Structure 1
Amino acid sequence: MHCPFCQSPDTKVIDTRVSEDGYTIRRRRECIKCSKRFTTQESMVLMVVKRSGNSELFNREKVISGVRKACQGLPINEESLKQLGEDVERDLRSRGVSEVKAEEVGLAILEPLRQLDEVAYMRFASVYQHFNNLDDYSNAIAKLKAARQN
């Protein structure tokens, strides 16, 4: 790590802390040459591979935004949406891979959303899983009912 003040490559770590979300490490450093202190943050990069083949950084806010649309008009608070976004990110990161397909992100959303609200789940699933007719909805409802009984 180069010192941002004098560009010296010789720095030492004074303090290390893991962030609240557990995905970022904050390090307090000191330059050996000029004795100035600075902070760095390290985080594991999680990339999402889109259907087009392009990759982009995972963005929890995009997950929350998509789920928010499915929850429109339902009595679901913002804190629940944020928690769902954290749960989805935790699930994806726990897989120990640096890239996930966009389809995997959608699948990771489905179960926590079903637990949050079944109507929002059906709305999201109908778009995500491309429901084309009433049979698709009927099958999804039957699966919801079966899951409720288990």
Structure 2
Amino acid sequence: MKCPFCGHLETQVVETRISEDADFIRRRRQCGHCEKRFTTYERPEVSFPAVVKKDGRRVDYVPAKLRASFALALRKRPVSTEQVDTAIERIEEKLLNLGVREVPATRLGEMVMRELKKLDKVAYIRFASVYRSFDDVNEFMDAVRETSRGGG
């Protein structure tokens, strides 16, 4: 590891700690030349599939966009942050387990709807009404009836 202070290539790890949630490792290092200390963080690198939009464009998966979709659908609804985090983790785990380099945006949208349906029926209807682009009130009512029956 190159020293950020003097650029020397030889540094020594003097302390290693695992974070409380075990998501990363914190290492204290000391430069063999200038003897200054600095901290590095080691995290696993995961590669989510690219998202293929309806028009054929390919975009990177952006976790913040997924979280924003949940936040918008769940606005003023009685769902905890922990529940949202768990739902997002389930979606991301599914994306990684697909083992593909690309995933259609429609498939991602279906995953979101499934999770929202488990969390809050009103949020599910909010998301579905935008996502499915209902053409008339009958399609909207069909979605409400489907939700009240527990189908889907």
Residue 77 of structure 1: CA displacement? 2.2
Structure 1 stretches of 4+ with a deviation exceeding 6 A read 1-5
Q: Which residue of 1 aligns with 2:74?
A: 71
Pair 86,38 (structure 1): closer, same or farther in 2 beyond 3 Å: same
The whole-number CA distance in structure 2 between the counterparts of 1:98 and 1:27 is 30
Counterpart of 2:46 (choices 44, 49, 52) is 44
Q: Choose 1 or 2 for highest CA Rg.
A: 2
Larger mean Cα displacement after TM superposition, 113-122 or 73-82? 73-82
Residue 115 of structure 1: CA displacement? 0.7
Superposition map of 1:1-150 within 5 A? 41=42, 43-51=45-53, 52-59=56-63, 61-144=64-147, 145-147=149-151
TM-score between both structures, scaled by the size of structure 2? 0.67
Pair 68,3 (structure 1): closer, same or farther in 2 beyond 3 Å: same
The whole-number CA distance in structure 2 between the counterparts of 1:132 and 1:41 is 49
Residue 105 of structure 1: CA displacement? 1.3
Q: Deviations over 1:105-144 (max 9, x none)?
A: 1111111110100000000011111112111112212322
Report the RMSD for the aligned CA atoms in angstroms.
3.4
The whole-number CA distance in structure 2 between the counterparts of 1:50 and 1:95 is 15
SS of residue paired to 1:57:
coil
How many pairs are equivalent?
145
Gap runs ≥5 in structure 1: 8-14
Residue 93 of structure 1: CA displacement? 1.3
Residue 103 of structure 1: CA displacement? 1.6
The whole-number CA distance in structure 1 between the counterparts of 2:100 and 2:42 is 20
The whole-number CA distance in structure 1 between the counterparts of 2:118 and 2:133 is 21
Residue 68 of structure 1: CA displacement? 0.9
The whole-number CA distance in structure 1 between the counterparts of 2:87 and 2:99 is 20
SS of residue paired to 1:100:
strand
8 A Cα contact 1:113 1:120, kept in partner: yes
The whole-number CA distance in structure 2 between the counterparts of 1:106 and 1:76 is 20
Match for 2:130: what amino acid? V
The whole-number CA distance in structure 2 between the counterparts of 1:40 and 1:138 is 51
TM-score between both structures, scaled by the size of structure 1? 0.68
